Amino acid sequence: MITLPHIYIVGGLFFAALAILSALDQANARRLRNAAFWGLLALSFLLGDRIGDFGNGLLALGLVVLAAFGLGIGKPKTTTPEERRASAERRGNLLFLPALIIPAAALIGTLAAKETEWGAALIQPTQATLISLALGVLIAVAVVMLWLRPPLLAPLQEGRRLMDSVGWAAILPQMLASLGAVFLAAGVGEQVGTIFSQYVPGLETSRTIAVIAYCVGMALFTIIMGNAFAAFPVMTAAVGLPFVVVALGGDPARVCAIGMLAGFCGTLMTPMAANFNVVPANLLELPDRKAALNGVIRAQIPTAIPLLIANIILMRFLAFP
Amino acid sequence: MLVLLGIGVVVLGFALRANPLVVVMAAALTTGLAAAWTPDADLQMMYDAALATIAAFGKAFNDSRYVSIVWVVLAAIGLLERAGLQERARIAIANVKAATTGRLLWLYFVIRQAAAALGLTSLGGHAQMVRPLVAPMAEGAAESKYGALPDRERYLIRAHAASADNIALFFGEDIFIAIASILLIKGFLEQNGIIVEPLQLSIWAIPTAIAALLIHSLRLWLLDRRLKRVLEAKPAQSEVAP
């Protein structure tokens, strides 16, 4: 049976390859820093379960230090824009198919592991989606390699090209998840929950009020934190789980799924979400790009607020089966 | 109440535009130390608390590794980009001769949202698609109808091009089961003893995705009306001639 640790080995080998190829890339002035960064991440995937909690903490600290000094961008050999245009015209819409293998595999694998015996024997049912996704990637890469016959190292080099453009931001979601866990252990959610229950009347008795408090809280907290990922663990521990789910009977999966999207409404309204709201204003050379409410954010607010209301209504009617 | 200091560190860090990874680590240490602090705590106790916080962070970091496993997808996407996937997407969009700014942005919105729902989140983006393609096409659609654009309307169209990308991405990607936010929810619930599968979560992102599509379609329709109202005030010369 394929389990999550097998997939971690695949991930670890992928990041290890990025580290080696980065180290060999003479075109990247910071190639050793890049190599160290991806190497540490590879170490985390391959040996994370053996180096202990403090070892993992030091590893995370090392990633932060390397990111703070700044990573470079490697220049792996790839095709020219002209070659790509020619290939796009020659291959037509068939090019979309291998890309569709990945989500299709994730979906089919998940359903098979849940619903069929052979699926459950092949894929660990509790982690079916991630395992199927990784298998889908391996299948898609194999298909493209057989179809287009690129150089053998192409998937790793092209993966490195994209990973370097993502840079340290690649581990931000994982870091925010870890921060959420530290917040949780320190009782930040409970403190925020206490504040909410002190100032929001009817939180424990009214489904409507609890849903509004959770969704608006998610949006506001996301505006402050600049990221729904950071707001989610705190607000869900403070209001979502204790009130909407436990006290009032909401379905946790539905409450959390819609709650996260209420947070995304906050992301649309804040300059703290720099890569979505400030970077494009710079790229498009808007005259008010340095303003707190630049043109992009002002264009988004009239969609974000009605959508937040829509999320409140959806959660109120869908989350209590 | 002291543990809320960590939130203050996050706010301060983002306000100072520090590296977000540094901000996250600083907030975690602040929170851990604040939780351990008592009026008679000495240096040794705070040192121990700092070590304990690093260990707690490390444990959570190791438990959250699955959040970062999705990056292996880039090996396949990069390989396809090498073969011209983005160019193919551009050809597919450019072949549709949409007549107005609003309709063009709407088309991009729909394609972007659908692609994100299939996990193809890197098929768009501000640097790759909006600046070189979507914004110029949206401006061009208005120019061909109304002639040279005043700055105000030009910047409005650009801002709308960027926002269409953001909104379509945000409210499309959660339908895909292996996106980071879905995995974060799964991990959070697991820590609280509730086991859910990503598919159970992504299904409930669909109603909001439809609401986002409806609301933003209305916004883009209103954008077209506004451009028509403002820009038609100075009628094009060619239309005045008999």
Say if residues B162 and A284 touch (Cβ distance below 8 Å): yes
Residue A310 main-chain phi, psi, to 5 deg: -60, -40
pLDDT of residue A170 exceeding 90: no
pLDDT at B240: 45
pLDDT of residue B239: 47
- State the pLDDT at residue B94: 64
Alpha-carbon span A11 to B103, nearest angstrom: 41
Q: For chains A and B, what is the number of CB pairs under 8 angstroms?
A: 430
Least Cα distance to B20 among A230, A102, A127 occurs for: A230
pLDDT of B97: 61
Rounded Cα distance between A213 and A229, Å, is 18
From the list A63, A186, A267, which residue is nearest B35 (CB)? Answer: A186
Of A93, A110, A307, the CB nearest to B92: A93
Decide if B174 contacts A257 (C-beta within 8 A): yes
Give the per-residue pLDDT at B234: 62
3-state DSSP assignment of residue A188: helix
Alpha carbon B101 to its chain centroid, in Å, reads: 22
Q: What is the DSSP string of B110-158?
A: HHHHHHHHTT-GGG--IIIIIIIIIHHHHHHHHHHHHSSPPHHHHHHHH
**B positions 160-189 inside 8 Å of A (CB):** 160-163, 165-167, 170-171, 174, 176-178, 180-185, 187-189
* Residue in chain A nearest B49 by alpha carbon: A186
Q: How many angstroms from the chain centroid is the CA of residue B24?
A: 20
pTM metric for this prediction: 0.79
A318: Cα within 13 Å, side-chain hemisphere: 21
Give the whole-angstrom CA distance, residue B66 versus residue A283. Answer: 32
Q: Which residues of B touch A252 (CB under 8 A)?
A: 189, 194, 196
Outline where chain A has alpha helix (H). Answer: 4-23, 31-47, 52-69, 81-91, 96-115, 117-122, 128-148, 154-166, 172-186, 188-199, 207-225, 228-235, 252-267, 274-277, 279-283, 295-318
Residue B216 contacts residue B109 (beta carbons within 8 Å): yes
Subunit contact A95:B73, Cβ cutoff 8 A: no
**pLDDT at A9 (0 to 100):** 96
C-alpha–C-alpha distance, residues A21 and A157, integer Å? 7
Contact: B207, A191; criterion CB under 8 Å: no
Nearest CA-CA partner of A177 in B213, B185, B74, B221: B185
What is the per-residue burial (b if ≥16 Cβ within 10 Å, else e) of A66-80?
A: bbeeebbbbebebbe
Of A100, A103, A252, the CB nearest to B196: A252
Q: Residue B192 carries which DSSP code?
A: T
Distance, first Cα to last Cα, chain B = 76
Of A157, A187, A233, the CB nearest to B35: A187
pLDDT of residue A45: 96
Residues of B in contact with A137 (CB under 8 A): 72-73, 75-76
**Total residue count of chain A as it appears in this document:** 321
Q: What is the dihedral of CA B146, B151, B156, B158, to 10 degrees?
A: 90
Nearest to B25 by CA among A315, A66, A121, A84: A66
Closest chain B residue by Cα to residue A302: B219
- Tell me which residue of B179, B158, B159, B175 sits closest to B213, measured CA to CA: B175
How far apart are the C-alpha atoms of B191 and A149, rounded to whole Å?
44
Per the document, the length of chain B is: 242
Q: What is the mean pLDDT of residues A217-221?
A: 93
Q: What is the rounded CA–CA span in Å between residue B231 and residue B100?
A: 13
Range with lowest mean pLDDT among A135-149, A158-172, B94-108, B183-197: B94-108
Residue A304 has pLDDT above 90, yes or no: yes
Element (H, E) at B9: helix B5-15
Work out the mean pLDDT of chain A and round it to a whole number.
Answer: 90
- Helix, strand and coil content of chain B, in percent to the nearest 5, comes to 80, 0, 20
Interface contact flag, B83 A61, Cβ < 8 Å: no
**Which of B17, B37, B73 to mutate to probe the A interface, most A CBs <10 Å?**
B73
Show Cβ contacts of residue B136 under 8 Å, excluding neighbours closer than 6 positions: none
pLDDT value of position A312 = 98
Q: Is the pLDDT of residue B241 over 50?
A: no
Residues 93-122 (B) with a CB less than 8 A from some CB of A = 118-120, 122
Q: State the Cα angle at B133 between B131 and B134, rounded to 5°.
A: 85
Count CA atoms closer than 13 A to A49's CA, side-chain side: 7
Option in A8, A180, A296 nearest B159 (CB): A296
Pick the most confident of A38-52, B106-120, B186-200. A38-52
| B112 burial type by CB count under 10 A (0-12 exposed, 13-18 middle, 19+ buried) | buried
Both tokens of residue A199?
């100032």
**Do A11 and B21 count as a contact with CB atoms less than 8 A apart?**
no
C-alpha B39/C-alpha A304 separation (Å) is 44
Name the nearest CA neighbour of A302 among B116, B217, B13, B120: B217
Q: Per residue in A131-163, pLDDT tens?
A: 988 999 999 999 999 999 999 999 999 999 888
Is the per-residue pLDDT at B238 higher than 60?
no
